[in-house]
Structure 1
């Protein structure tokens, strides 16, 4: 499996560790940067590049997933999610890592480099990479609704049926 990886300065050390460990386990790693530590770097371009790599690989029939890292993983997840067709999930424990794949068929996992020890982060990434999508109809349907909204700005028959209302007590 090919794995695209990107980070910012806060996840650089973890990125190097993950690349070494995953390569030893037989994964093909594609590094989208940065090449060196810069406390003032900007993560969006790195993370978007990784997500684009995943999307291109998958469009070409390759088995490919991605990893984006930062201090919290939040901004990096947001950046990857800007790439049309990509679903990036923030994982903070084994359940969220596995469910991102099993229920959401996420193609990119995001981790906070300042939130996890290296070994724990590796376990989260492996859980994500190794978990298959369930293909359950309800999950397929929901993913298609997300894709439909991304393409059209609507979910046919769904958004118009929702009537927002103010919350009132009791």
Structure 2
């Protein structure tokens, strides 16, 4: 599988480690940088490129995923999610890494280089890369709702259960409740 990597200075050590680890595990690595330590570098420069790489590969029908790495992983996740067709999840445990794939069909994972050991983060990435999307109807439906909103900016309809019951209202306005 092709794996696109991007980080900032806080994720550089893990990115360099992952490059070797991924190759040793049979993956093709596309490293979008950085390539040298610069405490003033900006994560969007690298993480947007990694996400763009995943999106372009998927447009061509290629099986690729991405990993973005920063101090906390938050900004890197936000950046990657700005790329059309990307669903980037922040993983802070093996369970969140697995659920990102199983339930959300995430195609990029973000990890925080200052939050965990290199060994823990490598395991999160491994779990992410090896966990398939479940394809369950409820997960497909939810992903479709987000994609539709992204394209149209129209909110999905509220479920009937949200519209009835004691103290509930049929309006989206909390003041009507």
TM-score by length of 2: 0.90
Matched residue of 1:92: which SS?
Answer: coil
Task: Give the C-alpha shift of residue 142 in structure 1.
Answer: 0.5
Matched length = 166
Matched residue of 2:4: which SS?
Answer: strand
What's the counterpart of residue 102 of structure 1?
102
Gaps of 5+ in 2: 160-169
Q: Distance in 2 between matches of 1:79 and 1:144?
A: 21
Q: Distance in 1 between matches of 2:39 and 2:4?
A: 22
Task: Give the C-alpha shift of residue 84 in structure 1.
Answer: 1.2
What's the counterpart of residue 148 of structure 1?
148
2:30 aligned with 1:30, yes or no? yes
2:29 aligned with 1:20, yes or no? no
What's the counterpart of residue 165 of structure 1?
174
Gaps of 5+ in 1: none
Matched residue of 2:92: which SS?
Answer: coil
Q: Distance in 2 between matches of 1:24 and 1:44?
A: 28
Q: Which has the higher contact order (CA 8 A, sep 6+)?
A: 1
What's the counterpart of residue 62 of structure 1?
62
Q: Distance in 1 between matches of 2:54 and 2:171?
A: 34
Matched residue of 1:82: which SS?
Answer: coil
What's the counterpart of residue 49 of structure 2?
49
Task: Give the C-alpha shift of residue 155 in structure 1.
Answer: 3.4
Matched residue of 1:5: which SS?
Answer: strand
When Rg is computed on C-alpha atoms for both structures, the one with the higher figure is 2
Q: Distance in 1 between matches of 2:139 and 2:133?
A: 9
Matched residue of 1:21: which SS?
Answer: helix
TM-score by length of 1: 0.93
Matched residue of 2:174: which SS?
Answer: coil
Task: Give the C-alpha shift of residue 158 in structure 1.
Answer: 4.3
- The ranges of structure 1 where at least 4 consecutive aligned residues each deviate by more than 6 angstroms after the TM superposition are none
